[in-house]
Amino acid sequence: MIPFRALSTATKLTVPPAASIQILSRTYTQKAGKSLEQETLSLLEDTIAKEKSRTTTESVQRYQKIHQEGDLYHPQDLNDSRYRESLRARRGKPVTPTQDPFEVLDLNPLHEYKNYKLLSQFVSDMGKILPREQTGLSAKNQRKLAKAIKRARAIGLMSSTNNHSNFTL
């Protein structure tokens, strides 16, 4: 029986797939019979073929807009370079909520100053209070939220320099 460690170290080689198959075939002919060698090589060939097909399909889905049957589209929508530019423009911009979460839940942010886990969602990694554009709060609730965060910092429930949302009390 072939130890698992020998198989795992042989598959981590940084050589082209054909060369790795040759290395594996040399390794296993010394250790095992022909049937095991052939099974291993066929398994590796299948894996390599799947990886090659997966990378092409992933790249196609990544860059091209997918149109469904019955969709209306403009001829400019078929331009892949324009679609890639629009993806680049959206990259890095967080998706803002369309509704104020405190209004939806009927909560007063000022009364939530002891709930540091909730407040940490509205603080950046460096400890800054996120602006309204990113939080999606109304102006009134944003002011209340800022006051609640400042209260939590004053009490010592939250850090003012970074966001540690994994505190335990």
- Digit-coded pLDDT (tens) for 8-67: 444 444 445 555 555 555 555 555 456 777 877 788 788 777 776 665 555 555 556 676
CA atoms within 13 Å, Cβ hemisphere of 131: 2
- Which region holds residue 18: left if phi is over 0, alpha if psi is between -120 and 50, else beta? alpha
What is the C-alpha to C-alpha distance for residues 102 and 108, in angstroms, rounded to an integer? 7
Q: Which neighbouring-strand residues pair with 129? A: 123
CA atoms within 13 Å, Cβ hemisphere of 10: 19
The domains of the chain, with CATH numbers, are 101-155 (4.10.640.10)
Phi and psi torsions of 72, nearest 5°: -95, 135
| CA 150 to the chain's CA centroid | 31
Q: What share of the chain is helix, strand, coil (3-state, %, to 5)?
A: 60, 0, 35
What is the C-alpha to C-alpha distance for residues 125 and 129, in angstroms, rounded to an integer? 10
What is the C-alpha to C-alpha distance for residues 60 and 28, in angstroms, rounded to an integer? 37
Count the neighbouring beta carbons within 10 Å of the beta carbon of residue 74.
Answer: 7
pLDDT digits (tens, 9 = 90+) for 52-100: 666 555 555 555 667 677 878 777 777 777 777 877 877 777 677 788 8
Per-residue pLDDT at 44: 78
Per-residue pLDDT at 109: 94
Q: What is the pTM of this model?
A: 0.46
Per-residue pLDDT at 81: 79
Nearest to 19 by CA among 28, 31, 11, 8: 11
Per-residue pLDDT at 138: 93
What is the C-alpha to C-alpha distance for residues 127 and 161, in angstroms, rounded to an integer? 5
Helix axes 34-63, 17-31, angle to 10 degrees: 160
The whole-number average pLDDT for the span 132-151 is 94
